[in-house]
Structure 1
């Protein structure tokens, strides 16, 4: 490993021209201090808002709009759990976290005017705040309700690489705001050079690479929670021929009023042996059970993952089973590639995947899961003969082709049995077509493939739609058909026809395909139009509205959809994974008809890495690496995304110094008690 070069004995942050902090320190504790300081400088207002919400005090700080979130936070027990987690940290992690929050508080103390007044009451932040934020984000925004997230990941073995080195593509898809934002950082110790991204406010990188190994994550088809249906009776709920009383806790929430005063808002939280009650009627109640809430050491596991030097060490980190979910793909300098369907998978009482998407009977211990499958039980693939692995939120069985995993070898409830359980079936198919499109990959080609906007759904349906036209269509329908015939089946800024096609598909009824997904034709189905007459009528309606609001049907996609962060605007490219784009941008309509659609999520932190010596890496954080008002880095990478380009990751000291914007020398944190 190439040891970092240190100019002083004090910890320091070298800020490059993209606002990425390169943190140099002699000890892990100093590293935590610098990382906290850097995050507060780049995202202080956002972090304080997120920590205030994780405390369950959002309404107390900012008013009525935050009350529902506070109720949920306390119902889920997040503040109390964070305190218990803090007591369960290892001494080394406790020191690191103490230094991390000290760095945040130091920045806020030194730069009070940099923090907006409405967020200052949250200061000082504490270790409990960090752990509450971790619990809220991971368990109650990913484990429960992961549909907001996606991601693409590829790992390429040396046999499929032009250079003879393994390659990794990390391509996260998350909303462009709130607790889903990525913070890009470069962390240096004398024996570590770790580059990647952390979710804002988190003290550890969640995806990244060091000089030996890299890893990426995708949300998996994982069911780590269960709704239990309880039958109520006088004194509680029915449980194995008896009546079990609820545990009840009375909490007083504070709500800030327009005049600045606080009013009390009572909340009673009820819990059964399954978990908290989230819904209750006269006769029934629903309790929520979530996997992993008793696992306090996720951060130790992330540190072990980030410092792993090979697949064996990475697997040893995963075997700690502290992280409740996520697929992981890795590549390393030894030429190994690896995939795992990671998760704290509950040991259930039989049934298949779809059975457990429904509420389960809560009146008997027979249905109450209490344990998890061990690491050995989880689906994994190492070094497949074909030389590649991919995951785009599909079940584990299509991670490589020919498949090396058989659903029959695993519990039927662990994952969907086929591609019908993929988050975005068409995006998975586009990924599989793309990764098999050439025999060998270079780093540049990997980066270029990441920006592929070819629309799988366009390839499936445009010809069928044109073929359904009557012999003498009305002029508007004929114009719409002509636009679609001339469309390049991409979602590039200059693609004409994508806007019309996207709106048509969004207006189509469910089950629009004539041929559903078929395991015998896994990459070419679903296909065809089930009801051509309805498809044409929908196309005409959409064309009429588009003509009325836009004045034409061939509006370029980059004019119809925009990438906007702060004051920066770029013509859009990329589209929703649901239509089969590998480059994913989720967008919403403008506030008025005829106004451009606006990107709100999708492609987030991206890294293409080659494990040569030294490691070569290309990266991008499309929305920029800061959210603070007046920061020059709000949206400063949008133009790169618009042009389909990644930027070089600067990791060695001379290169970082050549692109230096400013330097922050920090005092070493005080010794930990």
Structure 2
């Protein structure tokens, strides 16, 4: 290896503690005075702060990638190696039958083979960077084998191709299309969501642009965020990426920043093929399938390997995912021919102004995700980013279903260029937002017109309640301070309650039975929030769960009134009956109908069990937290608010952040769940970016000598 490492611990005995302030002041003077981060340090190093955030300072880019690989292993070694094993399509060989479906999916999508192709297509510089990242992973594993679970060591050594295979599995075959969606054929909702805001100086109390990054993802597996700072010649960026990805995916620097949200993007289609004579019918002719085979190995409980041949058929559309009764279904996914995603993200973090940033983004290597952007000069942008197929016919709804595959008329082969994508820069409103709604509701007055784009570009609606809540908070405050933006980010107000609760209470109060009347009293005094101490929120949510939201409203969603519809109760009498049922259910489960939200919904990690705030986005809660049964009548958080960054482009940049579940998953790490108490209190923590700040909050320093 071309790097050796030295560790430096920071412990003090009782005598030296008396001199701690004096010693720290000397260290700060020497370090800050002799080395600013506008100039490269002599050695690449990682400064770990007290929240387990790695601040990586490299004297060259190659060394920085090496250190980032090392850092990810220190924080997430077991998870990272397991993810890479799955991306190879060999997880069942390593860990058994439970991973067989995962392997079949990865192999059917051609991930390992394409990873080798992608690696060859990287620029010469980026190939070196990927090698350095893999080297950092392997060097850590060699030096700290005792800190890694034995069962995942089989994945070592990691290669640059593993990194690219993992990238494909995450972006193309989890976000763009996932196994669950394909099984149902009609496109299902992504497991991910997000909020993103950008505010111009016009609407900012400080007259500085602001950015809010707020992805919502499951709290584990390949969805886990990793927070870091990367500083090297030509880059000084702070942000987060998904574990195993070697560059920041959401980031800011002194000049600009961006976040991503899952957009209403359709980047895959399932084609129904008619089978004939061992092939399939296409434009009136029988075409042969292209078939590849591979050897699948499955580890048995006794440790032996069972081998089986796995075959994948492909048509001009893509791989065959099902075949029965004279028909087959082929899957076509965007992005398989765009290998330079990582370099685009890297260069986005290196940009210094909007012009540079747009030149990078228009490469269209990133297959999907809205881009919400803000910068020091006061510009903001909402970009409906992604690889959108150029289709000859049909609207968005048409392409959500099984597509006839016997004709080339439905087979798309080209992608819309950057200039075709919906976008708005510096709208008159002074703000842009996205809460996974279509681009037409990015800002108000409407700045992106659906009529100006192909009908398949994005759906016309409806605008869900979380997006309406997002717009409402932005539009109703003409001068938003940095602190107010953070408070809005934590809002648990239920927009749904504002639309129907008054109608429900009015009818419920007229009922004669005591329980229904009591339920009306609880709802009337409820603050309409999902805060830990909110009483009435559990009752309202239990009532909503037993209703059909498609038929609930008197006035359905209307494109002409996207921010105030739907509203009203279509069937008040049935609604009141359901309320009585919900009250009985709560009485049986908790002994009362006004149980506090935080008594039922919990935040749990290691030795922590805290009351939660936040809830289901379907109820119009901006602070999204999804829960799963905990087995005792309570529910624990499993998804939702994950990484949050609030940024104001003042001089210097002001930033607060939080990684909800902590910045590590390795056993015995002090950073597993160490930010969860802040999450429970609806607080963010300061972002430390200067050497002086980091040194004051330093936990460990690691130096790499070249």
Would you say same fold, with TM above 0.5?
Answer: yes
Contact residue 3 and residue 190 of structure 1 kept, 8 A: no
Aligned-pair distance for 1:3? 5.5
- 1:386 paired residue number: 429
SS of match in other structure, 1:9? coil
Equivalent of 1:464 in 503, 511, 525: 503
Q: Does the alignment pair 1:94 with 2:127?
A: yes
2:90 pairs with 1:65: no
The CA deviation string for residues 427-471 of structure 1, in whole angstroms up to 9 with x for no partner, is 000001101121111111111111011000111121111222273
Is it true that 1:547 corresponds to 2:587 in the alignment? yes
Match of 1:315 in 2: 358
Deviations for 1:187-228, whole angstroms, at most 9, x for unmatched residues?
A: 111443200001010001000101100000111100000110
DSSP-derived class of the 2:517 partner: helix
**Residue pairs, 1:70-89, within 5 angstroms:** 70-89=103-122
Distance of 1:296 and 1:520 partners within structure 2: 41
Q: Which segment drifts farther, 172-181 or 528-537?
A: 528-537
Aligned mate of 1:150, from 158, 183, 193? 193
1:17-416 → structure 2 map (5 Å cutoff): 17-145=50-178, 147-416=190-459
Task: Please state whether the residue corresponding to 1:331 is helix, strand or coil.
Answer: strand
CA shift digits 1:44-85 (9 cap, x unpaired): 000011001001111111111111111111011111111111
For residue 558 of structure 1, the aligned residue among 598, 608, 615 is: 598
SS in 2 for 1:151: strand
Give yes or no for the alignment of 1:488 onto 2:521: no
- The CA deviation at 1:170 is 0.7
CA contact (8 A) 2:67 2:133 kept: yes
* In 2, Cα distance between equivalents of 1:41 and 1:285: 46
Q: CA deviation at 1:114?
A: 0.6
The answer as to 2:647 corresponding to 1:614 is no
2:193 and 2:216 in contact (8 A); partners too: yes
Which of 618, 621, 633 is the matching residue for 2:671?
A: 633
Aligned mates of 1:65, 1:473 — CA distance in 2: 55
Query: What is the CA–CA distance in structure 2 between the aligned matches of 1:273 and 1:579, rounded to whole Å?
Result: 43
Q: CA deviation at 1:577?
A: 1.0
Shift of 1:344: 0.6
> How many residue pairs are counted as aligned between the two chains?
661
* Contact 1:275/1:287 (8 A) holds in 2: yes
One of 437, 444, 452 as aligned partner of 2:491: 452
Contact 2:40 2:57 in 1 (8 A): no
**Cα pair 2:597 2:613 within 8 Å, conserved:** yes
Aligned equivalents of 1:428, 1:3: Cα separation in 2? 42
Q: Secondary structure at the match of 1:482?
A: helix
The gaps in structure 2 that reach 5 residues or longer are 1-34, 179-188
Give the distance between the partners of 1:635 and 1:554, measured in 2 at CA.
Answer: 30
2:41/2:59 contact within 8 Å kept? no
Aligned partners of 1:4 and 1:192 also within 8 Å: no
Q: Whole-Å Cα distance in 1 between the matches of residues 287 and 549 of structure 2?
A: 43
Shift of the 445–56 alpha-carbon distance from structure 1 to 2, 3 Å rule, reads: same
Distance 1:8 1:206 in 2: 25
- TM-score between the two structures when normalised by the length of structure 1: 0.96
Aligned partner of 1:671 in structure 2 is none
TM-score relative to the length of structure 2: 0.92
TM-superposed CA distance for 1:178, in Å, is 0.5
Q: What are the ranges of 5 or more consecutive residues in structure 1 without an aligned counterpart?
A: 669-673
How far off its partner does 1:104 sit? Answer: 0.7
| SS at structure 2 position matched to 1:148 | coil
After TM superposition, give the deviation of residue 486 of structure 1 in Å: 1.6
Say which SS state the counterpart of residue 440 (structure 1) adopts.
Answer: coil
Post-superposition Cα deviations, 1:148-175, rounded to whole Å, max 9, x if no partner, equal: 1111111111111111111111111111
Question: Which residue of structure 2 lines up, in the alignment, with residue 431 of structure 1?
Answer: 470
| Structure 1 range deviating more: 14-23 or 546-555 | 546-555
How big is the alpha-carbon RMSD for the aligned residues of Structure 1 and Structure 2? 1.4
User: What residue is the counterpart of 1:656 in the other structure?
Assistant: 694
Q: Which residue is 2:15 aligned to?
A: none
Aligned partners of 2:159, 2:110: CA distance in 1, in Å?
18
Q: Structure 2 vs 1, CA of residues 319 and 566 (structure 1 numbering), >3 Å: closer, same or farther?
A: same
Q: Once the two structures are superposed, what CA deviation does each residue of 1:217-250 show, in whole Å capped at 9, x if it has no partner?
A: 1111000001101111122111111111111122
Aligned residue number for residue 185 of structure 2: none
2: CA distance between counterparts of 1:8 and 1:314? 27
Which stretch has the larger CA shift, 188-197 or 310-319?
A: 188-197
Hey, what does 2:558 align to over in structure 1? 518
